[in-house]
Amino acid sequence: MSTVNKKKLLRKAAFESGLSVKDVEKAVDAFLCAVSDILREDGEVIIPDFGKFYIYRFGERVCRNPQTGEKFVAPPMKKVKFKAFGNVINYTLKYGR
């Protein structure tokens, strides 16, 4: 299994779409900004046959400092999560070239 960074992803998408890397980068950046804005408003982004981005809320909880053993209460937090749909691997077969 290999890890793909943004640069490699942009090159692959440019190859698949026939667009320039700069045009693909603008589109990807616009997509990521839109997802970020929607999540900031506590929404969720669902991409059919692919997956969804959503906010997961952690409640207040008691934690312990491992160095001192002191206990403290951590405030509630929000994290972004992504859940891939079961058929995400077949996305290329349905929508690809």
Confirm whether 64 is domain-assigned: yes
Say whether 63 sits in a helix, a strand or coil. strand
Report the mean per-residue pLDDT for the chain: 91
pTM over 0.85: no
CA distances in angstroms from 7 to 14, 75, 89, listed in the order given: 11, 36, 21
Confirm whether 93 is domain-assigned: no
* pLDDT over 70 (residue 97): no
Query: What is the span of the domain harbouring residue 79?
Result: 44-86
Q: How many domains does one find in the chain?
A: 2
Region 65-88: mean pLDDT is 92
- Give the model confidence (pLDDT) of 19-54 as tens digits: 999 999 999 999 999 999 999 997 899 998 889 999
